[in-house]
Structure formats: structure tokens, C-alpha cells
Amino acid sequence: MTEQEIEEALIQKLGDLKYSYRPDIHDRAALEANFRHHFESLNHVSLSDSEFSRLLETIVTPDVYAASRILRERNHFERDDGTALHYTLVNIKDWCKNTFEVIHQLRINTDYSHHRYDVMLLINGVPVVQIELKTLQISPRRAIQQIVEYKHDPGNGYAKTLLCFLQLFIVSNRSDTWYFANNNSRHFAFNAEERFLPLYQFAREDNSKITHLDDFADAFLAKCTLGEMISRYMVLVASEQKLLMMRPYQIYAVKAIVDCIHQHRGNGYIWHTTGSGKTLTSFKASTLLKDNPDIDKCLFVVDRKDLDRQTRDEFNRFQENCVEANTHTGTLVSRLLSDDYADKVIVTTIQKLGLALDGNHRNHYKEKLEPLRHKHMVFIFDECHRSQFGENHQAIKAFFPNAQLFGFTGTPIFEQNANYQQIEGEQASYRTTADIFQQQLHAYTITHAIDDLNVLRFHIDYYKPDGKQAPKPGEALAKRAIVEAILSKHDAATAGRKFNALLATASIVDAIEYHSLFETMQAEKQAENPDYHPLNIACVFSPPPEGNQDVLQIQEDLPQEKADNAQDPDRKKAALQAIMATYNHRYGTSHRIGEFDLYYQDVQKRIKDQQYPNTDLPHAQKIDITIVVDMLLTGFDSAYLNTLYVDKNLKYHGLIQAFSRTNRVLNDTKPYGNILDFRQQQAAVDTAISLFSGQSGEQAKKIWLVDKAPVVIDRLQGALGQLETFLQSQGLPAAPEAVPQLQGDAARCQFIQCFKEVQRCKTQLDQYTDLTPEERECIEQMVPPETLQGFRGVYLDTAQRLREQRAQNREQTSPEVEQLDFEFVLFASAVIDYDYIMTLISRYTNPTPGKQTMNREALVGLIQSDAQFLDDREEITAYIDTLKAGKGLDESAIREGFEQFKSQNQQQRIQEVAQAHGLDTQTLQDFMAQTLNRMIFDGEQLSELLAPLQLGWKARTQKETALMQDLIPLLHKQAQGREISGLEAYEQ
């Protein structure tokens, strides 16, 4: 189908759904006239022309968050006679009763923009949904990138017209349909790591996807459904001024809880896998229940003080001041007894709740709560199966007979894993989730999450020592051999330390021994090789509690650590103090065991700090491997943690929880979560996958686990074959030097697509820790390193050329170029950064006997094949050309020389721009310096810069446009990736 045919079919479909088709609305004037008609009808008012003009000035805003609040709230406006008009833009009490209209090919002409929009949906005349239709295969990331580009066009209609009220964007080629929320620029942009806005495909209650446009329209765009999606299931995150769309499974879970309460159908649990966003789900359920007259109180119950704080902060992030802190049990009891609307939803710990219901407590809280005994109370537990849950569950049921209890879990307890407890060599008995909560209300398993690309698959390497008899399942290897294996594999597993890792150990004694071994063995390696860069190793386990209530509380969910600390506690405490002293020395901190929680928080922060490039935060301030026993193996999330080394026996939910620390989605440089198991636990893994997948074992393994190395090697060979076939079809040899000879954009686009698949396979294989020497040799023969580097270089050349072409003349860009997703992140190395290049240049000028050095060609090839240097590679190459091999400059002299070289080039370029436009060089330099100091582009100062030319209005506008074409690349280069506020208005 053509794009026009897809559009006509959609409009007909929306007509079937009782939308009014408005072919007469095709420009800004008609859009505003239609809005005026609906506004006056809804608010029973007739506005004068001047009043309507002032109303538009009042409500139209470039701030998407502010516009979204106006759309949902009751507002007021002063009329010409001074009286106040209280109004809404839509019927906010019953969104179904609004007027729903569809328009197409709307053209909005503003100062610089003449955009045409495919299809728009209006509610009461307000544009709330934009639908972009495609004929080609959709790259979801490219689709969102296009809309980002449209929104950044100068004079775009999104900021200056009623289009500011758009809530959702939908992109479809009829067979494949995606949607995402509108947002302000800082939440609606791509960063250097290519981390994208949340993109959604709608799904049914069983999580099967709804992708065809007709089916999507029936399920999502039906009038009442769309009104509900916007009014109930979009969250306005106050603290970040951001719009958040709930995912389909979150919506179904909230509906299930609300319906269960409304119909008095007892208790229930939600099985939503780790990393699926249960806090947002529980927040939305709680806020909807706050306005439900059927219930008296809603308590969201967490099991630890740190989670109480974290959850309260999250709730208040979604909606300011929606829950308050309960500083002690007395505060909780007071808020339970309060009739204040603000106290209807309460976040508390299970410990405080237990104390409040303790009949023996000296403050007699239980007696005070007697008036609530027969009230309709709702309890939502953030985790169904924490250690203290059982006894408190009974107390709640006994005291509140009319209460309804709901629980979330990522790993339910079934009969098979009901007797598993995470202490080496011991067992305990748990009740199943269904025993406690009666019924499952909704399930979204890790299988669904992997299929939706919400979490990653796993690569599991069951480590076998060379030349020895294979160890038995669960059998421990010598620790020294394990440390040696980790040190040899870590750089490959973590993409050259781009990511970091956890080492899960069987006991506190083991953790202490491992920490000591890493220190000793890395010191030995440094003594042998001064160029060896040691890994930063941290270790964290809870101390003996010694009456400390915070530690006692933490240890309720750390069974191994709790048991270990009961044996020889003084030795454990002394070892932890020594570990913390080493940590303090390395990082310049002053943590002590009496404030263990601060140390624990600092370790977590440094693990998450891996997200910052070494240029912003030196590697010395980060952690490469954190040694743990129980801590961090549940509930801790970091997208830059990709590897788990396992030297402890794991089973069932404990195994899934631990593995799931590694599989948060980032981008294509993180293709999977990496597990290196030193205990041969394949049988335990297979059992856990079968139990928690919701599918048969073999089928689930295909979804959960990445392909074995031979399969990916075959895929790499296939991708190389396609690249070779394509180049030969163009009459060219399959060599990097042939690529610049490609004729036409279609051929260049085809090369981009072919080689991107080669690089994707190579990136995946590079992080496999279980490649055999034969497999490594096979890969190297298929694509020798120098050939790969050459292709990477011409890929970046070609991609940069097409990207600039697309940016400069979007109207005349071919569809193939327009749809391209370059994925530059695949071509950026974590190892080869600015510091590394400066070191190599130093060695090039100052070779050391016995050390391998690069010649100029190899050095330039390395720089040109890495996307990090896309904007600087010409400058670095030119600088290398000014140096002489063997001249003998140290690294600091190289850095200083390069900075001077860059500065001279910048000065020269500014001088050239000033002369080309008849401006004073110093004045232009001052203007740029002030812009970069403030990171704000000031249009008035630009006018002052051009004032000495004494140009008329038209000539000055032309001069301003021409000058900005030269200045924008200079400003971007000097800003080094930081955003200059206000500059986007001048970018074409």
C-alpha cells in the first residue's frame, strides 16, 4: 500500500470507531476556529475575538509538561470585563463525553516551518495524538529520532500553536505500530550513548502484541479507551517535569487490582518480573484508590527502611507530596486514624506495621487502632515473600477482617521452590504465593520482558578449568584459579571495562578471602608488567549487628550473612574494617563500620557511576568488580552492570534474582547479561528457567539465552557474505577501499545496513567469555582486524556524509536516507578514549625499547574507525602529521601540544568566519566565549553583534541565517556534546 492508501484506510477505520472526519481542517486558522467552537460549547461561553486571542496566548506554551497540566486541570482566565472565567479544555470528569475528531495533512505555517502532519486526533478540538505513517520497514529508534528532529526545527508548530498539547506520537507502516509520549527537549532527545525514550507496542492482557494498525485502532484508539489512556494511564512526573506512559502490562495490573477491590473478590498477587517497573504500577494503583470511596485506607508496605525511603521518594517523584514520612510507629498510627485526604495513601515498613499491631507494645497502639478494625483497608506489599512477611500477614488478617491484601513479586513461590532458603547447606519452608494471596491477578514474566526488549537475554559460560576433569555440579574450584580466570576474562566480558561486575560468593569468609586474593594477585601482575592496569575491587557484606537495629533489619533479607555473622563475629568485623580501610584509601572516603549504611550507599553509587565516561569521571573513582555474599543480588539496578561471576550455589528464585542484576537494557553495546558460573550449575539454571518462564523448558531457553558462539559465528559469516555479494553487485571488490566508489545514496545506505550487521555480530562475540582458541582464530580469518578497522573507518565516513546531507536538506532527502539508523554507538570503544590516544601518540614520538609502538598509518586508522572521534578525527590526524616519530615527547607535552593546536585552529576558523561576514574578530570571539560560558544562546546579543553592519530587516535576516550556518558547527564542537540552550531555534 502507498502512504496515501494507508492514511485513507486509517481514516475510514477511525470513522467506524465513531470519530468525526474533518477534511475542512487543514491549516492553523481552521484548527483554531474548530477549537474555539468546542471550547465555547463546553464552557457555555461566547468569547470576543480579543478574548480568544488572549486565551491562546495564555494556554499555548512550548513547555509540554505545563501544557499537559492545563489539559487535565480546571483553569481560569480574565475576560475583557474583568470577570473570571473558570474553564477546562476538555470534559475532565468524563473523557468519553468529549468530541473526538480526525484530521489529516494539516499544514502549520509558522515563522520558519511549513510542516505537514499525516493524521491527528482531536479531543474537543485539542490535538492530542499525532500519527506518522510510513511505507518502509520501521526502525523504531529512527522513527522517534525523526520526530525529535521535527520538534527541533526552527519555528516548529509544536511550540507556538495548539500542537503544544500533543500527548502521544504513533508511528506505523500498517503492519507494525509503535507509540511514545511527548516531552520537553531534555526528555525528548538522544544522548551520546544512544539511550532512547521509552517506546511501546500495545498488547493484550496475555501480553501478546497488537501491531497491525487496524487492530491497534480497535484496542487503543476507541474513543473511551484513548481518553482513559491519556487521563488515567499517563503519569505526569512532577519532579522531572516529564510525561510517562504506563506500559500495557502495568495498565492491566492496575485494572485488575481496582476491579478486585470494587467487586470484593478477596486478595491477589501480581507476578511482574524484576525490572518491569512495579513502583510505577503500585503508585498508579494507590492514586486511583485514593479517589475510590469504597475503601478507607490504602497502605503500601515495604520491608526495609531504605526501601521505605526509596519508595516514598519514587511516589513523591511521580506526584509531589503525595506521601509523607512516618518517622516512627506513633506517626504511622496517627496517620492511620486521620480522616485527612492526604493520609488516605500511606507508605510504611512492615516492621512499623507489626509494632502498631503488637498487643504487648507499651504504647498500646493496637487499642488506639480499634476504630479501624472493621474498615475496608487495602494493603499493597511491594514483595510478597520477604522474611518477616508471614507473621505480619497473620496479624493483619486477624485485626482487619475486611482488609484486602495485594502483593507484587518478580519470582513467585511455587510448590517446587517452597522449601528453598539461601543458606549454604540448609533448608527452610515457605508457603506458596497462591497460599497467601489466593489468586494471580496478572502475570508479566521475564519471558515476556525479553520478548518486549524490556530486559536482555543471558549469556552463560559454565567455566571448566583447562586440562582437568570437569568439576561436579555445585563443587567449588580453587579460589586462586577463579581469580586468575576473572582477571583474564574481565575485559572481554565488560567490553573493555565499559561495564562492571559482581562476584557472588558463598559466605563472608569466602568474600574476605577473595578480596585479599585480588589485592595480592594484581600486585604480582603489576610487578611483572608495569603497564598492567589493575581492576578496582570493592567488597560489601553486612557487619555483625551488635544490637544495631538498622543492621538487624537489613539482615532479615540476607540469610547467609546473618548466619555467617553468628560465627566468630569479631573476625568478620575486623576483616570488614580492613576492607573499608582499603576502600577509604583508594577513593579518599572516610567510612566506618558504625555507619555501615553510608558505606553501602557509596558502593552502590560508584557501581552506577560506571555510566559516566572516563573523561568526566576518572576510572580510578569507579568500581570494576564488587564482591558480595547476599547484598546487591536482589533489588539493585544499574544498566552499566553487565556481568555476574558466580561462586556460590544458586537455585530457583535466588538464581533468577541474582542473574537479573545484569540484564537491564542500555543500547547495542550491551547485547546480553553475562554470567560466568564457576560451579557448573546448568541443571539449576534449566530448572529455574522452566519454573519462571511460564513456558516449556526448551522453548523458554531459546528466549532466555543467547545463541551459542558457533551460531553467532555462522551469522557473522552470513553477514560478511551479504556485504561481499552487495559490493560485487556494484562491480566492486569486497574491500574497505572500494566503499568510497559506491554510486548513489541507495547504494551507500545498503552498505550501511550490511556492515552494521557485521559489527553487531562482532560486538556480541567480543563479549563471549567462552570462545575457544579455534573459534577466535576462525573469527580472525573471516574478518582480519585490519580489514574490520578499515570497514569501520569507511562506515563512519559514509554515515557522517549521509547524516550531514539529511540534516541540511531534509525536504529533498531520499526515503532510504531518511529512514537510516546509523547506530554510531556500535562503533565507539570504551578502551580507545582520548587518554588512550594521547598515550599512543606519545609512544609514537618516543618509542621505548622492547615495547610495541604504532606507525602513523595504524594510529590514524585506529582513530578513524572509532565513532567517539567522529567530530575530531581530522584535527587529531592533522596534529599527528605535525609530529615526528622518535622525537621524544612525553604524554603531558603531547596533551599540551594538542590543546594549543586545537586552540590555534579555532582562532583561525573564527577569524575566517568574521572576515567572511564583515565582523570584528575579537567581538565575534567574545560573543562565542560568552555563549559557551553560559551555555545559553542569546538572540538579542546576536542582533547586537550584527548592529554595526547597519542592515535593513530583510538583509539582516539573511545575514543572520548565513552567519549561523558557519557558527553552529563551531559552537557544537566547542560545547563537546553539552546542550546550548536556545541554539536549536537556529538549527536547520
Structural domain 3-245, CATH architecture: Alpha-Beta Complex (3.90)
Report the alpha-carbon distance of residue 649 to residue 424 in Å, rounded. 7
Report the alpha-carbon distance of residue 536 to residue 485 in Å, rounded. 16
Report the alpha-carbon distance of residue 105 to residue 26 in Å, rounded. 6
Q: How many CA atoms lie within 13 A of 243 on its CB side?
A: 29
- State the sign of the Cα–Cα–Cα–Cα dihedral 710, 711, 717, 720: negative
Residue ranges of domains in the chain = 3-245, 248-444, 460-620+639-662+672-704, 709-831, 903-987
Other residues' Cβ atoms within 10 Å of the Cβ of residue 393: 20
Q: Which helix (H) or strand (E) holds 224?
A: helix 223-231
Contact indicator for 298, 378 with CB cutoff of 8 Å: yes
DSSP state of 24: T
- What the block records as the C-alpha cell of 963 is 552567519
Contact indicator for 60, 164 with CB cutoff of 8 Å: yes
Other residues' Cβ atoms within 10 Å of the Cβ of residue 70: 20
Which amino acid is it at 65?
Y
Report the alpha-carbon distance of residue 954 to residue 618 in Å, rounded. 50
Tally of residues, the chain: 988
Report the alpha-carbon distance of residue 826 to residue 761 in Å, rounded. 10
Report the alpha-carbon distance of residue 370 to residue 373 in Å, rounded. 5
Other residues' Cβ atoms within 10 Å of the Cβ of residue 121: 23
What crossing angle do the helices spanning 921-934 and 891-916 adopt, rounded to 10°?
120
Report the alpha-carbon distance of residue 269 to residue 414 in Å, rounded. 13
- Domain 248-444 coded CATH 3.40.50.1100: no
Nearest to 273 by CA among 707, 764, 704: 704
Contacts of 82 (CB under 8 A, 6+ apart): none
Nearest to 22 by CA among 41, 35, 40: 35
Q: Which helix (H) or strand (E) holds 51?
A: helix 49-59
Query: Quick one: 240 exposed, middle or buried, by C-beta within 10 A (0-12, 13-18, 19+)?
Result: middle
Q: Are strands 242-245 and 268-272 parallel, antiparallel or unpaired?
A: unpaired
Q: How many CA atoms lie within 13 A of 98 on its CB side?
A: 31
Computed over its alpha carbons, how large is the radius of gyration of the chain? Answer: 31
Instruction: Reduce the secondary structure of 806-875 to three states and give it as a string.
Output: HHHCHHHCCHHHHHCCCCHHHHCCCCCCHHHHHHHHHHHHCCCCCCCCCCHHHHHHHHHCCHHHCCCHHH
Nearest to 463 by CA among 453, 471, 452, 454: 471
108: helix, coil or strand? strand
* Same CATH fold assignment for domains 248-444 and 460-620+639-662+672-704: yes
Q: What CATH number does the domain located at 460-620+639-662+672-704 have?
A: 3.40.50.300
Report the alpha-carbon distance of residue 92 to residue 228 in Å, rounded. 10
Nearest to 969 by CA among 936, 938, 928: 928
Residue ranges of alpha helices (H) inside 663-734 are 682-693, 697-704, 709-729
Report the alpha-carbon distance of residue 801 to residue 526 in Å, rounded. 44
Q: Which residue has the cell 594477585?
A: 521
Nearest to 597 by CA among 310, 201, 259, 955: 310
Contact indicator for 757, 828 with CB cutoff of 8 Å: no
Report the alpha-carbon distance of residue 829 to residue 788 in Å, rounded. 14
Report the alpha-carbon distance of residue 708 to residue 139 in Å, rounded. 27
Query: Quick one: 943 exposed, middle or buried, by C-beta within 10 A (0-12, 13-18, 19+)?
Result: exposed
DSSP state of 440: E
Contact indicator for 149, 190 with CB cutoff of 8 Å: no
Report the alpha-carbon distance of residue 164 to residue 181 in Å, rounded. 13
Contact indicator for 102, 121 with CB cutoff of 8 Å: yes
Residue ranges of alpha helices (H) inside 62-178 are 64-72, 140-152, 157-160
Phi and psi at residue 673, in whole multiples of 5°?
Answer: -90, 135
Please, what are the averages of pLDDT over each run of 10 residues along the chain (988 residues)? 90 97 95 97 96 96 94 94 95 96 87 73 98 76 72 73 95 90 77 59 95 96 97 87 92 95 93 83 83 88 60 61 64 92 84 86 92 94 66 84 92 77 54 87 92 90 77 81 95 93 97 97 94 95 87 83 94 97 97 93 94 87 97 90 96 92 88 94 90 76 90 95 94 92 89 92 90 93 91 86 73 69 62 62 64 62 66 77 70 78 86 91 90 86 88 84 86 77 69
Contacts of 710 (CB under 8 A, 6+ apart): 775
196: helix, coil or strand? coil
Q: What are the beta bridge partners of residue 177?
A: 172
